[in-house]
Amino acid sequence: MISANISKKTRRAVYARDGYACALCDSTKYLQVHHCVKRSQGGTDSMQNLICLCADCHALAHGIDLRGVEMTQADMEQAITEYLADYYAPDWNPWGKEGP
């Protein structure tokens, strides 16, 4: 699910920040960028709202289980939120402009 609105520069920065691997399972295959807070809900294309996920984790974040794992969409959303909140603490703000 590639968003045309995310610049190539930002997309590359998200991949680099997350070590060119899925931030949740460490897979390096089929990497994609996911919005933590959907743009339709006020989320931005800032680094603070983007996470690198493999295709399987990205699908699960959208409620589609491709692996038969015992993790719900809510569990996945919580894991994504915790990852980004911990990374940008104490100033995490996926709804606003990029911080300092």
pLDDT per residue as tens digits for the range 1-43 = 444 589 999 999 999 999 999 999 999 999 999 999 988 888 8
The pLDDT of residue 22: 97
Domain ranges of the chain: 8-88
Contact 49, 80 (CB under 8 A): no
Contact 94, 83 (CB under 8 A): no
Alpha helices in the chain (DSSP H): 8-17, 55-61, 73-88
